[in-house]
Structure 1
Amino acid sequence: MAARRAARQPTRRFGCGPRLMGVGVGVAALLVLLLLIASTWARGTLQRIEQNDPRQASAQAQSGAAVASLQAPFNILLIGVDRRPDLIEGVRSDTLILVHVDPAAGWAGMLSIPRDSVVNVPNVGLQKINTAYAYGFNHAEEIYGPGTTPEAAGGALAAETVEGFLGLKVNYIAEIDFQGFERVVDTLGGVRLNVPRPLLDPAYPSADYGYERLYVPAGLQVLDGATALRYARSRHSSSDFDRSRRQQQVLRAILAEVRARGILNQASLLPALVEDLEQSVRTTLPLGDLNTLRGLADLAQRLEPDRIVQLSINPNDVAVVQEIGSDIYWDQGDLSLLVARFLAGPEGSTEVARVQVQNGAGTPGLAGRVTEHLRSQGFVMADATDALVATEQTQLIDYGSHPQTLERLAALLQLDGRSVHRSPPPDAPAAPYQADIVLILGSDYRE
């Protein structure tokens, strides 16, 4: 086991900058493609694409919750699935992207999850996160009961795994297989892509389970479905994190193509696209519900480029605690910070600070209770601990520059100005490890 950055705090880069990407992201592409179906007369297609979520008690409960949730923020897990019928290794998920949508505020975000991330998979234990879909697919009825389809079970177990890993609820699941991805791109006539640097992969997996050479030159070009898929999936040309960036770039290019060509108004293309999606897409979004379709249509029309946030789990934002071969173990504290940034939205603060509560009041369990209370209010919390010395006055100390978090804490805890320090006072304890703001509870603190 190789430990990385164990002796220092990991680098954190939460500025919006390049993460506020132009012309859409995966969620918008998915919504637009689903709207292509919804805008046609093929109601039967909607029913074939929609599938029940085996995590729900019943299809009726699922549908009822769905309509309400399209008025409030919700999360969709996008799963890219390699399910060739002759696949020797079995069906597997190759891409996992969590999409967060806030309909009222009119913004969306996308968080890419590397497939080599080691997580706790329900019913399995610690495994790479892409194990979840395959295990659910192969044990559908064993996990979720008689009548559960392999695709539904694979998506459901992947969603449960992501929920445990990120601490976020996955409301809906959307799966697309790679052959369908190719067909959609070809039906659109290809996608225009500006490749920033040449991509050379001498060992790209071929359809006959061998390897082939892949080369995509730099520059603006139109990629067909097969090339776009290879560009998005290649792993040997660079890192898995660059691969996540390329996947999101291709999704954005698809949406740009749909918008630029006015596909929704080209009746001649709709039947072909509907057929592509019918063969390749499965989702738990209640597409048969008229209110849901109206909500999706409204979202697709209102999503603007500057209202879309793009993030990924990568070593710049989340420290790698251990790496064993290709297995990656992420720092959970840093991951919590990234999730907080993900939920903050385009107008949210780029400031994400970890808060530690220290018990200087001598009241047993006080720091732990306050920590849980602050966590429930959306703050990112470090483990509670005892203060070095007992104190009478409660102190809130910022060890960096986190004015917005400091202000929120002071208001919530109703602390006056004498207790709030924008920088450490001369008698303040040394800065704690992996905490940005410290709340020292004194004997004057009242729960």
Structure 2
Amino acid sequence: MRSFLDYLIYMCAFCVIGVGALGAWEAVSEQPRALISPGGEGDPRAVIPSPNIGKMTILLMGADERPQFGDKGRSDTMILLFVSQRTKKAALLSIPRDLRVHIPGHGRDKINAAYAYGGVELARDTIEQELGVHIDAYAKADFQGFVEVVDQLGGVTVEVPDVEGRGRGMNYDDNADGLHVHLKPGLQTLNGEQAIGFVRYRKGDSDFKRSERQQQFLKAMAEQKLKLSNIVDLARVVPKAFGAVETDIGLRKAGELAQVLRDIRSDSLLMTSFQDYLHDVNTGIYYVEISAGGVSAVLGEIERHLSSMPDEVNLVDVLNGSGAAGVAATVGSALSSEGFEINDTGNATSFDHARTQIYYPDDGIMAARRVQRVLGTGDLVKVDEQQPYPQDRLTIVTGEDIDTEALGG
């Protein structure tokens, strides 16, 4: 399974370039140690500590700055990166730039205006206020740096869709922004300038289609370029990547983050958005707003993803086998806080169980042992034809040995 490291440089396009640089740096640290003076300043072991980030939320931004006009610009791309060290999972949440929000000190406006009014800090404050999340750090991309990174990697081959129809492909010119997109449909290798147009274009469709193209580019770059076998190319890209990002992630925390991201697999990365919860607002200016319950639904999806353990049976049924009031709910709550998904709670066929039984399927032994550690008790029993329990989950029959007070009940 490909490591999440393979996907990092892609994020240059949508402001994840800072994390991409860290991933590339970590890849370089895997070079033969003979090339490094042990314990010296160049030894990654001397500067990269053991990770201790817990959960971390990073605001990733790309701004359409136009310094030649003295214009700070608006944030062209905003993504929240959520990382869990414990479960080795990550999530990317795209924030629509046309989202109408309350910007502190400036009233109602599009969320991408926050950057123009007050830079990264106001953008961060606005997102925290609107979504109710705490942002630990930020990384802001320089799109020209992305162009140079793609060029140094030799371009990326993608299938360009015929967005405008009749073989016209994708065409857009913004002289003020210096963005010129002219791509014919079909499979082709994009250089840096073409790639930035591919991921920023939205004239013929929408932000959501643009997000799909960004994901398409991500997969293509990962499969073609970003492998540890390309260590020389990645090493050459690192200086450009570092020069193209502004971040408040310190060196120590960056090293910890790089190590955690290295261990996150591609199938442990959730990509999501508010698309299913948005509605248009007609005020003469195009806005979108999030429907009631949309924020909690999406953030809940992210939290469940980050909390669940990969590569393990994660679904659990809890049955009360002792007759003690509320014990199944207490056990379920304790396991849920440790990342398990509680499918059902109820009563066992009898209340005469002195010892807790943890029934596990063929591939569930590791998960069963985790349950045993959480509960502080329990006998492990493998499900077979003699046991009337499902093979796709753990089944816990609680006994008199459960200490509900220790579990927070």
- Specify if TM > 0.5: yes
Aligned residue in 2 for 1:236:
203
Q: Which residue type is aligned with residue 129 of structure 2?
A: G
Tell whether the 8 Å contact from 2:24 to 2:234 is kept in structure 1 after alignment. no
1:115 aligned residue? 97
Q: Equivalent residue for 1:307?
A: 268
Q: Are 2:186 and 1:218 equivalent residues in the alignment?
A: yes
- Distance in 2 between residues matched to 1:297 and 1:115, nearest whole Å: 28
Percent identity (aligned): 30
Select the residue among 248, 256, 269 that pairs with 2:215. 248
Equivalent residue, structure 2, for 1:79 = 61
| Cα separation, 2, equivalents of 1:165 and 1:134 | 17
In 2, the alpha carbon distance for the partners of 1:282 and 1:340 equals 30
Conserved? CA contact 2:5–2:261, under 8 Å: no
Q: Which amino acid aligns with 1:327?
A: Y
Instruction: Check whether the contact 2:55–2:82 (CA below 8 A) recurs between aligned residues.
Output: yes
TM-score, normalized by length of structure 1? 0.56
Choose 102-111 or 297-306, whichever is displaced more: 297-306
Deviation of residue 113 (structure 1)?
0.7
Partner of 1:382: none
Matched, 1:204 2:173: yes
- Find the residue that maps to 1:337 and give its secondary structure: helix
Partner residue of 1:281? 245
Relative distance call for 1:74 and 1:222 in structure 2 (3 A) is same
Offset of 1:93 from its aligned partner?
A: 1.1
Superposed CA deviations along residues 348-368 of structure 1, whole A, max 9, x for unmatched, are 59xxxxxxxxxxxxxxxxxxx
Give the Cα separation in 1 of the matches to 2:209 and 2:181.
19
Deviation of 1:301 after TM superposition, in Å, equals 2.6
Q: Conserved in 1, the CA contact under 8 Å of 2:53 and 2:257?
A: no
Cα deviation for residue 323 of structure 1 reads 3.8
C-alpha distance in 1 between matches for 2:288 and 2:114: 16
Question: Which residue of structure 1 lines up, in the alignment, with residue 87 of structure 2?
Answer: 105
The Cα shift of 1:334 comes to 1.8
Displacement of 1:179 in angstroms is 0.9
Q: Please, what TM-score do these two structures have when normalized by structure 2?
A: 0.61
* Compared CA separation, residues 117 and 187, structure 1 to 2 (3 A): same
Counterparts of 2:278 and 2:207, CA distance in 1: 15
Answer yes or no: is 1:345 the counterpart of 2:305.
Answer: yes
Match of 2:257 in 1: 296
| Partner residue, 2:294 | 334
Q: Distance in 2 between matches of 1:198 and 1:80?
A: 24
Pair 1:178-2:143 in alignment: yes
Displaced runs of 4 or more, over 6 A: none
Q: CA deviation at 1:279?
A: 2.9
Amino acid at match of 1:83: E
Kept in 1, the 8 Å contact 2:20–2:241? The answer is: no
1:119-140 deviation digits (Å, cap 9, x = unpaired): 111221211011111111xxxx
Number of matched residues? 287
Paired residues of 2:84 and 2:306 also in contact (CA < 8 A): no
Q: Secondary structure at the match of 1:78?
A: strand
Question: CA deviation digits over 1:4-42, x for unaligned, max 9?
Answer: xxxxxxxxxxxxxxxxx996466687534224346479x
- Name the CA distance, whole Å, in 2 between partners of 1:276 and 1:23: 17
What is the RMSD computed on CA atoms of the aligned residues?
3.6
Structure 2 distance, partners of 1:249, 1:29, is 17
